[in-house]
Structure 1
Amino acid sequence: MPKIYSTHPLHPRASEMLAGAGELAIASALDGATLAREAADADIVIVRAPLPEALFAGAGRLKAAIRHGAGLDMIPMEAATAAGVLVANVPAVNARSVAEHVIFTALALLRRFRMMDRDLRRDGWLAGRAHADLNHELAGRTIGIVGLGAVGQEVGRIAAHGFGLSVLATTRSARAAPEGARFVPIDELVAESDVLVLCCPLTPETRGLMNAARIARMKRGALLINVSRGPVVDDAALIAALGEGRLGGAALDVFSTQPLPPDHPYFSLDNVIVTPHMAGITEESMMRMGTGAAGEALRVLAGELPVNLRNPEVVERYQQRFPAAD
């Protein structure tokens, strides 16, 4: 039977879909050497952890690497394409989960939830209640969205229609702005936003996008929320701005180094919410991502091309490797 190798366990519905199509194997560890060794005889790899380039050089049967989600930075695209391996993903299915996380963390920062909860538990009712006079409402503020993929679109929709926010947006792609949103250049967006949300992919252009100069342009008291990728933000510059009180707070779900070291300065800042790269993970989104990845795996095993093929230039090479594929 074909071997379907997944870096992580799949949602039960996804596992059920694959049960009759091949042997499902789960990685025993996530280091590069283990992944390359265990995937050597795989026909399909389902990806939720960074893959080493060596995996593609050593997996002679491998037909496809399928991302369990949207972001492709976990897959070395050039190595996959050179090896004649299809790359697919499951876009847009966790957009609602990420967008809800953005709104949740914005509200938690404005309502000083971390500090209130800590002081209430530690020092009692009045200590927790003392934060109330410093709380703020979300309504009526300006939210700036960097990146208008599925997540950015959903953040804009909820912000405008659920909370009455003014929505600014900037994006590399030519697409329509969400209803009620206004496109502006990145530096104007940074300067005008009360809540700045990073939803963009990690590319050479976005690496270090929020550098010291751009962070200095943010409004005093503004919030920064990063649900894109850690290297989009200059950590040292953000830590300095937060520590000096120039920014109201930050909610960070992604980091340049993951897992985040336990002694990282972010943990010492009261005005920072840190989460372990889980903004897009809910039971509902895991089901959608898992079944989407399983569906693409079944298509490839049936000799078809994925619906969400992300390296179409590989098709000729792939069909040379597997002549029956169309």
Structure 2
Amino acid sequence: MPDQPKILSTHVLHPAAEAMLAGVGELAVASALDAATLTREAGDADIVIVRAPMPPELFSAQRRLKMAVRHGAGLDWIPMEAATEAGVLVANVPGVNARTVAEHVLFGAMAVLRRFRQVDRDLRQHGWLAGREHSVRAGELGGKTIGIVGMGNIGRHLVSIARDGFGMTVIANSRTPESLPAGIAFRTLDALMAESDIVAICCPLTPQTSGMIDARRIALMKPAAVIVNVARGPIIVDDALIAALRDDRIGGAALDVFATQPLPPDHPYFGFDNVVVTPHMAGITEESMMRMGTGAAAETLRVLAGELPVNLRNPEVVERYRARFF
């Protein structure tokens, strides 16, 4: 009797996803996330469910691995070239946490505008009136202009919530201007930075977007404008943003992603009252974890049944994959 398939997940899955995989194969959780451990523990895996960066060498040493499936949408944690060269399918679960991330954009913007860090600190340390005093300098979302950089699933959800829920004016920048929803005006990135009260970074990290929010573009922002990053840390040049915050040249920032993660505890971002820092959690809620987990489990079941994943991201691998297993 052949060995039962092994499914290695970098993290514990939602109970609903575990239930889908029960009896289908052996579900294991990685004991650590370093390259050596992941490569070793994936050595006899048929499927890897990905919530952490994958080392390229994980794929080069495989004989059984059929698929790496992203627990979510972003593919920058999977070395696509190495996976394709090894004949391994790559899939993801796009869109399932897009509204979750879009809601976080406005949560972060509101926390900065309503001066939440200052209010909370002074209320706890100095009393009711000290906390309340900050409210007279707080701001609202309604009537402000939000500029959305990137019009994928997250950007489109953000359009709906910001425009229809909060009465904001929405402008956008996208690689494909024709993809913008009806009524949303396209802006060049420079024009968007200059016109927006809230700049929301929602685009993927690519060679073209890495470092694109630099000192020159930050200098275009309004003095009270807030920048929110829920995409990837390297899109913003940290030194440029830190300098603008130190010089009070912008209103603040809400940052969920960073060039170095975890963010070191002595990082300058922690020292600003007008910066809200969250630990790469914009897409994580009870509801989204269920959707991402069950989506990854569904793709796992398809591949173990001999089918191709619905959300196959390297279709050029199919011929090589089939030569390996069929």
Name the TM-score class by shorter chain.
over 0.9
Instruction: Tell me which residue corresponds to 1:91.
Output: 94
Counterpart AA for 2:40: R
Asked whether the equivalents of residues 227 and 254 of structure 1 are also in contact (C-alpha less than 8 Å), the reply is yes
1:240 aligns with 2:222: no
Whole-Å Cα distance in 2 between the matches of residues 271 and 137 of structure 1? 15
Asked whether the equivalents of residues 151 and 179 of structure 2 are also in contact (C-alpha less than 8 Å), the reply is no
Correspondence 1:244-259 to 2 at 5 A: 244-259=247-262
Counterpart AA for 2:165: G
Instruction: Tell me which residue corresponds to 2:312.
Output: 309
Instruction: Tell me which residue corresponds to 2:158.
Output: 155
Counterpart AA for 1:280: G
Change (3 A) 1:60 1:174: farther
Offset at 1:59? 1.9
1:287 aligns with 2:287: no
**Per-residue Cα deviation, 1:106-159 (whole angstroms, up to 9, x for no partner):** 111111011011001101111111111101111000000000110011111100
Whole-Å Cα distance in 1 between the matches of residues 60 and 135 of structure 2? 58
Counterpart AA for 1:36: T
Whole-Å Cα distance in 1 between the matches of residues 262 and 62 of structure 2? 28
Bigger mean CA offset, 175-184 vs 284-293: 175-184
Q: Report how many aligned residue pairs link the two structures.
A: 323
Whole-Å Cα distance in 2 between the matches of residues 251 and 134 of structure 1? 18
Helix, strand or coil at the partner of 2:170? strand
Task: Pick from 59, 65, 68 the counterpart of residue 56 of structure 1.
Answer: 59
Offset at 1:83? 0.2
**Per-residue Cα deviation, 1:231-278 (whole angstroms, up to 9, x for no partner):** 000000001101111111100000000000000000011110000000
Task: Pick from 255, 267, 270 the counterpart of residue 270 of structure 2.
Answer: 267
Counterpart AA for 1:289: M
Helix, strand or coil at the partner of 1:143? strand
Offset at 1:175? 4.3
Offset at 1:182? 0.9
Whole-Å Cα distance in 1 between the matches of residues 114 and 311 of structure 2? 40
Helix, strand or coil at the partner of 1:131? helix
Following TM superposition, the consecutive aligned residue runs of length 4 or more in structure 1 with deviations greater than 3 angstroms are none
Correspondence 1:1-326 to 2 at 5 A: 1-173=4-176, 175-323=178-326
Whole-Å Cα distance in 1 between the matches of residues 65 and 31 of structure 2? 19
Alignment TM-score, normalising by the size of structure 1: 0.98
Asked whether the equivalents of residues 177 and 186 of structure 2 are also in contact (C-alpha less than 8 Å), the reply is no
Asked whether the equivalents of residues 157 and 179 of structure 1 are also in contact (C-alpha less than 8 Å), the reply is no
Gaps of 5+ in 2: none
Gaps of 5+ in 1: none
